[in-house]
Chain A
Amino acid sequence: MKVRHVRRHGDEEVEIAMTPMIDIVFQLLVFFIMTFKIVAPEGDFNIRMPIAAPSEGVPDDNQLPPIKIRMKSDDNGRLTSMQVGQYHVGTSFPALHNQIREVVGDDRGPGCIAETAEAELDCDYNLQFKNVIRAITAASGYIDDGRVIKIIEKIKFAPPKPST
């Protein structure tokens, strides 16, 4: 912004008071600097869970039963063990991921198992939520060459367990 000095009658000069504007501008600047925060981008895991209703029509023979992922915790909510169906995978999420890939297979495309596969999370009440997100991540897919490869898109929860 160019501040012009207007000269009148020779040497006489009209001054524009810049001080209040600069004060305000600096206050604005300080406000924005203080409130500025870099926020990590957030994303969603979508879950479609209508309340249990009697199924209509003929059941689909191709529909596989949901892959049950059992997650146990101690009283403090720490993960103690995980199970995919009958297979124990300890507390390792990569092992959980590998087990699910083994069940679902790596075929992608129309008619593949991954298209209709469904995972059901059966978790202890006290389990820390971050473990659920890690399990959903392990079951949902993986990143290959910067691309997200989906494994299971349908994820639901088993009925909640009572508080201990």
Chain B
Amino acid sequence: MRKKGYGSGAKYAKGDMTPMIDMTFQLIAFFMVLINFTEADQSERIHLPSSELAKPPDAPLEFPITLQLTKRGTVLFVGEEIAGGRLSPLLLREKQVMEQRGRLLSEATIVIRADKNAKTGKVQEIIKLCQELGFERFALRAKQKQEDG
């Protein structure tokens, strides 16, 4: 940090704060730009399986409904952890919301973020439940990686 001297007669010397503050604001701007608020609907409890073919979609899904299946078999939906059996009324509400908006259920995509160690049977039960309510598009989410961990 550069010090400004005022010579022998100076009462005090001041540090020039400008470069430090400039740098700090640039760092803040950098982190603000990179912060990912979409993580709000992602849980630390879910460890996604990985696949080299799992590429991020070119365009965002039109009506995504994200269901997260934990290793223990519970479902995380709109911030709540619920048992699989209690999922039906919540999905029914989603269905009613879509119908009120005049949208077809076939336009919605059920995004399933299942833990890599979750039981496949549980995933299939969720798919079956959604099918019975009229949903027909599903997306199995995986993270992009070369090797499965």
Residues of A that sit less than 8 Å from B by CB: 1-3, 18, 22, 25-26, 28-29, 32-33, 35-37, 39-51, 71, 77, 123-134, 136-137, 140-143, 148, 157, 159-161, 163
Checking B54, B55, B119 against A127 with a beta-carbon cut-off of 8 angstroms, the contacting residue is: B119
Point out the residues of chain A lying under 8 angstroms from B67, CB to CB.
none
Scan residues 26-67 of chain B and give those whose CB is less than 8 A from a CB of chain A: 27-28, 31-32, 34-36, 39, 42, 48-57
Are B120 and A127 interface neighbours, CB within 8 A? yes
Are B49 and A134 interface neighbours, CB within 8 A? yes
Q: Does B142 contact A (CB under 8 A)?
A: yes
Are B28 and A29 interface neighbours, CB within 8 A? yes
Q: How far is the CA of A125 from the CA of B124 in the complex (A)?
A: 9
Are B120 and A48 interface neighbours, CB within 8 A? no
Are A157 and B56 interface neighbours, CB within 8 A? no
Point out the residues of chain A lying under 8 angstroms from B95, CB to CB.
none
Classify the interface of chain B: helix, strand, loop or mixed.
mixed
- Residue picked from B34, B140, B148, most chain A C-beta under 10 Å: B140
Name the residue of chain A whose CB is nearest to the CB of B61.
A44
The smallest C-beta distance from A3 to any residue of chain B, in angstroms, reads 7
The smallest C-beta distance from B144 to any residue of chain A, in angstroms, reads 5
Scan residues 134-149 of chain B and give those whose CB is less than 8 A from a CB of chain A: 134, 136-145, 148
29 chain-A/chain-B pairs, Cβ below 8 angstroms: A1-B21, A1-B25, A22-B21, A25-B21, A33-B31, A40-B145, A41-B54, A41-B143, A46-B139, A49-B136, A51-B131, A51-B132, A77-B117, A123-B120, A123-B121, A125-B124, A126-B121, A127-B121, A129-B123, A130-B49, A131-B120, A133-B51, A133-B54, A133-B140, A134-B51, A134-B148, A136-B140, A137-B51, A160-B125
What is the interface residue range for chain B against chain A? 35 or more
Are B27 and A29 interface neighbours, CB within 8 A? yes
Q: How far is the CA of A64 from the CA of B16 in the complex (A)?
A: 76
- B3-23 Cβ-contact flags toward A at 8 Å (1 or 0): 000000000000001100110
Scan residues 63-117 of chain B and give those whose CB is less than 8 A from a CB of chain A: 69, 106, 109, 111, 114-117
Q: How far is the CA of A125 from the CA of B53 in the complex (A)?
A: 25
Are A161 and B121 interface neighbours, CB within 8 A? yes
Point out the residues of chain B lying under 8 angstroms from A132, CB to CB.
49, 120, 123, 140
Name the residue of chain B whose CB is nearest to the CB of A43.
B54
Point out the residues of chain A lying under 8 angstroms from B119, CB to CB.
77, 125-129
Name the residue of chain B whose CB is nearest to the CB of A33.
B31
Are A49 and B31 interface neighbours, CB within 8 A? no
Name the residue of chain A whose CB is nearest to the CB of B137.
A48
Are B51 and A44 interface neighbours, CB within 8 A? no
Q: How far is the CA of A123 from the CA of B124 in the complex (A)?
A: 9
